């Protein structure tokens, strides 16, 4: 090997060692007595110092002949940069390589297209394509290639884990009715004539399915069956996924799992280095550089808005929250059906919804429909025993709509049995119910909160302009003061050029913002002027239960069944595929004729404690993981090892059954990297860090007792 390290690998912990690098000269600076070169490869940039006394005079003189894009090999000593010369924009910005010798591997002419890391503007298209190899050296292109490689590898790993075979079918074959149109290619032998290239994946997919290959996948190369266009490649790559003995939900679940694997949790955004820090599949933080970043992460439920809300109220933000609410309601009905105590029975059948906006009204209406529809399966329960209360601090429901529609909503919900309480504010929530500001107590086993959202902690940590908990943006959706950052949706404070008002955090605005943001991003890349966001809201609609609704569309007001139908239709139209539209539409039509399905699905795991098995050599814990759980060894033996500055691993300690290992165990060893590795088969019990934190909070009072006991050892607290 001509090199010992890459140009993005060395760190301050490597100071004092010797390294050899190979790469391209990105830039050079002659300071008279010596020369500084930024050496580049696809992994990063390292500063090379050609200065006495480290560098012999002959190499200093030879280095003065270096120019941009020369290819060189350099050997030298890794040293920390002098005070004040650190470069925070580079991962290697804390060190430099002080050259002791170097070899010129190849010269280069002055490039017409600069691949420098400092070059952010796209060159002319003809010039770029003529010197494509130089364009491919640009950091933006290298990042795109590396990202594509990671995505492809992640897809292959995921499908292999799920029992798929990677089978590559022929590209060309005879024409088939199901395939794409033939791709016409000019003949090199018979000038003026063309021949057809039929694309054949569909034919071979059918053969594979019939042959018994029930699961196969390929990352297939395809051709566009259309005329050549300047803005499209004639060939492209697509994921070709085939499964047998499954239904639609299985396919959707498989794709959802793939997206979850590829789209990792964002841990931080480094604005200085322009990198996104995310969690890798192994829990280690990974860095993804960007030229432009679109932030559309929404917001989260504010569980600290009321005392007891986090512990005893059910939020309603995600699909998981909705499923958990349904399971909770059905569980309360079952408990009420067998309860002998009248007070317990009433509490199980009492539900409180906090918030009279769209979410609160829809939940209260659907909740009453669900409970009343389920009574036919619980003959021991009476309709008069059910209590659904809707608390709202305002003087009318649905303040976003016309007052007449708000009053209609209130009357209809009262007629269906929902107790609407206007001007009521919740003060706190307990296991027994809700306490109002005036001191009144409302017993309830189920409390649903539809109020209060807050900014994600990730955005709160960024040094970006904020406005009422949202990122302040310009009219074209640029984050104020940031040319490479864009934001949209619930997390963005975007002025609407249509009326000069701030865009509300609703789905119809977020959808239009997404389209406009994509167009503005393309305009900026092309050097064109961006356009302000401009949108006139279509209106709003809300279901209020009993197949009734209210709607205000294009200035027209609707109520009753027609409004409910318009409300459902709006959701149906936004579903992404025809098959989904048909499935959901038929399901809703089924409910118009037949009773609602009240099956109770329990989603709790059989055993909340995670038990895991590891084989020899597998890693249980890492010091650089973003999540640090507590692990108890039940059977087997583990050893802790640390990585030294020379890159070698050293065994530090060995532990057996009965040992608890966690963050403190790894921090006891003063090393950059520490791992707990299985030695032979190992059975462990894992307590996730999030659960561990809650347990620690609950046990905090016992800490004071132990401290007092330590000061008075004659006391015996337990035996």
- What's the CATH fold of domain 12-106? OB fold (Dihydrolipoamide Acetyltransferase, E2P) (2.40.50)
Q: Report residue 399 as tokens.
A: 């303040």
Confidence label for 492 from pLDDT (cuts 50, 70 and 90): very high
Closest by CA to 94, choosing from 16, 15, 148, 34, is 15
Closest by CA to 352, choosing from 382, 312, 322, is 312
How much is the pLDDT for 269?
A: 86
How much is the pLDDT for 696?
A: 63
Mean pLDDT of 331-345: 89
pLDDT at 461 over 50: yes
Provide the pairing of β-strand 35-41 with 18-30.
Answer: antiparallel
How much is the pLDDT for 637?
A: 84
How much is the pLDDT for 713?
A: 41
pLDDT at 155 over 60: yes
Exposed / middle / buried, residue 92 (Cβ in 10 Å: 0-12, 13-18, 19+): buried
How much is the pLDDT for 665?
A: 75
Least confident range of 170-174, 420-424, 496-500, 590-594: 170-174
**Angle of CA points 396, 401, 406, to nearest 5°:** 35
Give the H/E segment covering residue 103. Answer: strand 95-106
DSSP codes, 202-250: HHHHHHHHHTT--EEEEEEEEE-SS---TTS-SEEEEEEEEESS--HHH
- What does DSSP assign to residue 182? P
Mean pLDDT of 234-253: 82
Better-scored residue on pLDDT, 443 or 605: 443
* Residues 6 or more apart whose Cβ sits within 8 Å of residue 274: 289, 290, 291, 293, 484
Main-chain phi, psi angles of 305, to 5 degrees: -65, -35
Closest by CA to 273, choosing from 661, 67, 569, 8, is 8
Mean pLDDT of 457-469: 87
Q: Whole-angstrom Cα distance, residue 222 to residue 177? A: 17
The dihedral of CA 472, 473, 475, 481: what is its sign? positive
CB 34 within 8 A of CB 60: yes
Helix 139-161 crosses helix 248-262 at what angle (to 10 degrees)? 140
3-state secondary structure at position 162: coil
How much is the pLDDT for 471?
A: 93
CB 388 within 8 A of CB 397: no
CB 564 within 8 A of CB 548: yes
Q: Is the pTM of this model over 0.75?
A: no
* Residues 6 or more apart whose Cβ sits within 8 Å of residue 594: none
**Angle of CA points 65, 68, 74, to nearest 5°:** 65
The string of pLDDT tens digits covering residues 603-652 is: 665 455 677 888 788 888 887 765 667 888 888 888 787 776 566 677 88
CB 123 within 8 A of CB 138: no
Q: Whole-angstrom Cα distance, residue 259 to residue 250? A: 14
Q: Whole-angstrom Cα distance, residue 674 to residue 662? A: 11
CB 77 within 8 A of CB 100: yes
CB 199 within 8 A of CB 239: no
Confidence label for 117 from pLDDT (cuts 50, 70 and 90): very low
How much is the pLDDT for 647?
A: 62
pLDDT at 715 over 50: no
Report the percent of the chain where pLDDT is more than 90: 25
The string of pLDDT tens digits covering residues 6-37 is: 998 899 889 999 999 999 999 888 877 778 99
Q: Could you state, in order of their start, the residue ranges of all structural domains in the chain?
A: 12-106, 142-262, 539-593, 610-706
pLDDT at 372 over 80: yes
Assigned architecture for domain 610-706? Sandwich (2.60)
Q: Whole-angstrom Cα distance, residue 25 to residue 45? A: 9
Q: Report residue 514 as tokens.
A: 């997404």
Mean pLDDT of 191-202: 66
**Angle of CA points 163, 164, 168, to nearest 5°:** 160
Q: Whole-angstrom Cα distance, residue 632 to residue 524? A: 54
How much is the pLDDT for 714?
A: 41
Please provide the average confidence, as pLDDT, over all residues in the chain. Answer: 82
Report the percent of the chain where pLDDT is more than 70: 85
How much is the pLDDT for 702?
A: 62
Better-scored residue on pLDDT, 473 or 228: 473
Confidence label for 707 from pLDDT (cuts 50, 70 and 90): low
How much is the pLDDT for 716?
A: 37
How much is the pLDDT for 203?
A: 64
Q: CB atoms < 10 A from the CB of 330, how many?
A: 18
CB 516 within 8 A of CB 523: no
Superfamily of domain 142-262: Bira Bifunctional Protein; Domain 2 (3.30.930.10)
Mean pLDDT of 154-176: 80
Main-chain phi, psi angles of 486, to 5 degrees: -125, 155
**N- to C-terminal Cα distance for the chain?**
64
Q: Report residue 583 as tokens.
A: 């499935």
247 CA to centre of own chain: 27
pLDDT at 458 over 90: no
Mean pLDDT of 375-379: 89
Better-scored residue on pLDDT, 235 or 446: 446
- What does DSSP assign to residue 717? -
pLDDT at 282 over 70: no
CB 33 within 8 A of CB 63: no
**Angle of CA points 213, 215, 220, to nearest 5°:** 100
3-state secondary structure at position 404: helix
């Amino acid at each position: 090997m001509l090199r010992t390290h890459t140009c993005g690998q060395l760190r301050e912990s490597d100071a004092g060692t010797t390294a050899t690098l190979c790469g391209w000269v990105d830039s050079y600076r002659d300071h008279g007595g010596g020369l500084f070169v930024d050496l580049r490869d696809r992994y990063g940039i390292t500063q090379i110092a050609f200065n006495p006394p480290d560098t012999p005079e002959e190499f200093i003189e030879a280095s003065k002949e270096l120019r941009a894009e020369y290819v060189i090999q350099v050997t030298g000593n890794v040293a920390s940069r002098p005070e004040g010369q650190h470069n925070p924009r580079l991962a290697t910005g804390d060190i430099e390589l002080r050259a002791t010798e170097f070899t010129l591997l190849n010269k280069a002419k002055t490039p017409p297209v600069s691949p420098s890391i400092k070059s952010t503007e796209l060159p002319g298209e003809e010039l770029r394509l003529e010197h494509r190899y130089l364009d491919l050296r640009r950091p933006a292109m290298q990042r795109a290639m590396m990202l594509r490689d990671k995505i492809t590898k992640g897809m292959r790993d995921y499908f292999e884990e799920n029992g798929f075979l990677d089978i590559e079918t022929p590209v060309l074959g005879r024409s088939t009715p199901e395939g794409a149109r033939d791709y016409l290619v000019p003949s090199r032998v018979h000038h003026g004539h063309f021949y057809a290239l039929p694309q054949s994946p569909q034919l071979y997919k059918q053969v594979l399915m019939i042959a018994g290959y029930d699961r196969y996948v390929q990352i297939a190369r395809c051709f566009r069956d259309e005329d050549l266009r300047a803005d499209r490649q004639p060939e492209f790559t697509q994921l070709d996924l085939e499964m047998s003995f499954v239904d639609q939900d299985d396919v959707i679940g498989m794709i959802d799992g793939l997206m979850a694997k590829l789209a990792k949790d964002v841990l931080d955004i480094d604005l200085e280095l322009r990198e996104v820090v995310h969690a890798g599949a192994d829990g280690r933080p990974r860095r993804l550089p960007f030229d432009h970043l679109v932030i559309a992460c929404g917001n989260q439920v504010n569980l600290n808005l009321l005392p007891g809300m986090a512990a005893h109220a059910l939020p309603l933000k995600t699909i998981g929250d909705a499923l958990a609410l349904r399971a909770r309601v059905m569980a309360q009905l079952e408990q009420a059906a067998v309860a002998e105590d009248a007070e317990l029975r009433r509490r199980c059948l009492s539900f409180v919804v906090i918030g009279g906006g769209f979410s609160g009204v829809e939940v209260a209406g659907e909740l009453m429909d669900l409970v009343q529809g389920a009574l036919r399966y619980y003959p021991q329960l009476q309709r008069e025993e059910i209590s659904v209360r809707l608390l709202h601090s305002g003087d009318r429901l649905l303040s976003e709509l016309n007052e007449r529609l708000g009053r209609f909503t209130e009357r209809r919900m009262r007629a269906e049995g929902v107790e609407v309480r206007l001007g009521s504010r919740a003060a706190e929530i307990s296991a027994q119910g809700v306490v109002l500001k005036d001191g009144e107590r409302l017993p309830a086993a189920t409390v649903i909160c539809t109020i209060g959202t807050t900014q994600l902690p990730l955005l709160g940590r960024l040094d970006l302009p904020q406005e009422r908990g949202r990122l302040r943006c310009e009219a074209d959706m640029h984050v104020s003061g940031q040319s490479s950052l864009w934001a949209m949706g619930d997390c963005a404070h975007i002025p609407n050029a249509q009326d000069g008002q701030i865009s509300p955090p609703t789905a119809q605005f977020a959808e239009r913002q997404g389209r406009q943001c994509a167009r503005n991003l393309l305009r900026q890349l092309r050097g064109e002027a961006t356009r302000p966001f401009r949108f006139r809201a279509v209106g709003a609609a809300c279901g209020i239960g009993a197949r009734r609704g209210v709607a205000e569309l294009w200035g027209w007001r609707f109520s009753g069944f027609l409004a409910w139908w318009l409300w459902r239709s709006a959701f149906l139209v936004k579903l992404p595929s025809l098959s989904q539209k048909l499935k959901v539409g038929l399901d809703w039509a089924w409910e118009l004729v037949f009773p609602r399905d009240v099956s109770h699905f329990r989603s709790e795991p059989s055993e909340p404690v995670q038990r895991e098995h590891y084989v020899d050599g597998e890693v249980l814990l890492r010091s650089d993981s973003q999540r640090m759980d507590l692990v108890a060894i039940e059977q087997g033996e583990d050893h802790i090892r640390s990585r030294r500055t020379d890159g070698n691993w050293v065994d530090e300690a060995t532990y057996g059954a009965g040992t608890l290992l966690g963050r403190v165990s790894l921090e006891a060893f003063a090393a950059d990297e520490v791992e707990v590795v299985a030695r032979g088969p190992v059975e462990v019990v894992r307590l996730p860090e999030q659960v561990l934190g809650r347990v620690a909070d609950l046990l905090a009072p016992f800490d004071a007792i132990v401290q007092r006991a330590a000061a008075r050892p004659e006391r015996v607290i337990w035996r």
